[in-house]
Amino acid sequence: MIVLGIETSCDDTGIAVVRDGHQILANLVSSQPEHARFGGVVPEIAARKHVEVLPAMLDSALDRAGVTLDDLDGVAVTRGPGLIGALLAGWCFGRGLAQACGLPYVGVHHLAAHVHGALMPALADGEPVRYPLTALVVSGGHTALYRVTAANTFVPLGQTRDDAAGEAFDKVAKLLELGYPGGPIIDRIAPQGDPFAWQLPRSDLGLDFTFSGLKAAVRRLAIEQKIEPGDATDPRILDIAASFQAAVIDMLAATTERALARFSSKGVVLCGGVAANRDLRTRFAALADRQGIPLFVSPPPLATDNGAMIAGAGHRRIAMGESDPLALAARATWPLGS
């Protein structure tokens, strides 16, 4: 069964063709450099760019996968949560395409898809995925812990009370004038700094997260130290980047460990854009090892937003013969496990 997946919840346009929920035939992502000069995503620009690039990306994805529209068995589209204008671009495109081709059409929860993306390599290799799992979704818009009791069945455990971890990476990078998005940049430069140079605050809110205190501490430190932003080779900026990244990773790991101590789990999932972070992946590999359970972590192309995770997550419902009604609306906010 071949499913087309469409992702447009934020500023990446993703289109993918996936067989049986895990075999990726094509996975194209188009990023939008237009937002860089604003240091964050401009919703109106994001929506317009999705509308512009979707038709040509569809052709390229089908080409790359070596299939035609006639080979598709269904269309899966991100229904939410996300920027509503951006979501609607993919939602209307996918719904129109499905209608025109007489295909079933399902709306997918973006965060459930991130979790599915982390499981796809194991599913493709025929490795067992046993439930319950403890899943950390850590992206630019979300930081949350879930207990996954069965495929696509989520119980929320905790979430951020302010910024998402990815947002904190982006804002610290903006403060230090390092570029956008900040996560990959800090990931790249942090190893050149000393993570112990500055003892930045680590909060403990049980199974919840907060990053605003850390962000404020970095701002204060940059002012106190009279940091001249913009130079990614300045050793003092490298030390701040490394110390900041270490604090974020400590908090994500400690909170996940608290959840593992409280609820028995047969595996840990690490997913969302920030899961591309190399030090975070290393820390979680060690954490899962200590617990003696497998770590399911999205490979970097499946960590940041993409269409393959949407097609994979939508596959199950399409295979069961389901299709969403035409009148179903996209949802800017949509708690997972509700």
Q: Are the C-beta atoms of 336 and 111 separated by less than 8 Å?
A: yes
User: Which of 134, 139, 160, 298 is the binder for ligand KG4 (CB under 6 A)?
Assistant: 139
292's CB contacts (< 8 A; 6+ apart) are none
Interaction partner, residue 239 (ligand KG4, Zn ion, none; CB < 5-8 Å by kind): none
Q: What is the DSSP string of 172-202?
A: HHHHTT--SSHHHHHHHHGGGS-TTSS----
Interaction partner, residue 182 (ligand KG4, Zn ion, none; CB < 5-8 Å by kind): ligand KG4
* 117 binds ligand KG4 per the rule CB under 6 A: no
Work out how close the CB of 69 gets to ligand KG4 at its nearest, in angstroms, rounded to a whole number: 27
- Both tokens assigned to 310: 């949407």
Work out how close the CB of 82 gets to ligand KG4 at its nearest, in angstroms, rounded to a whole number: 7
Interaction partner, residue 187 (ligand KG4, Zn ion, none; CB < 5-8 Å by kind): ligand KG4
* 232 binds ligand KG4 per the rule CB under 6 A: no
* Candidate segments 206-214, 274-282, 304-312, 313-321, binder of Zn ion by CB under 5 A: 304-312
Q: Which residue has the tokens 């060690």?
A: 286
* 276 binds ligand KG4 per the rule CB under 6 A: yes
Cβ closest to ligand KG4, residue 84 vs residue 274: 274
Distance CA 315, CA 82 (A): 21
Q: Are the C-beta atoms of 238 and 265 separated by less than 8 Å?
A: no
* 139 binds Zn ion per the rule CB under 5 A: yes
Q: What is the DSSP string of 279-329?
A: HHHHHHHHHHHHHTS-EEE--HHHHSS-HHHHHHHHHHHHHTT----TTPP
Cβ closest to ligand KG4, residue 181 vs residue 294: 181
DSSP 66: T
Count of helix runs (H) and strand runs (E) in the chain:
10, 10
Cβ closest to ligand KG4, residue 103 vs residue 252: 252
Work out how close the CB of 68 gets to ligand KG4 at its nearest, in angstroms, rounded to a whole number: 29
Contact residues: ligand KG4, CB under 6 A:
10, 139-141, 166-167, 169-170, 181-184, 187, 272-274, 276-277, 304-305
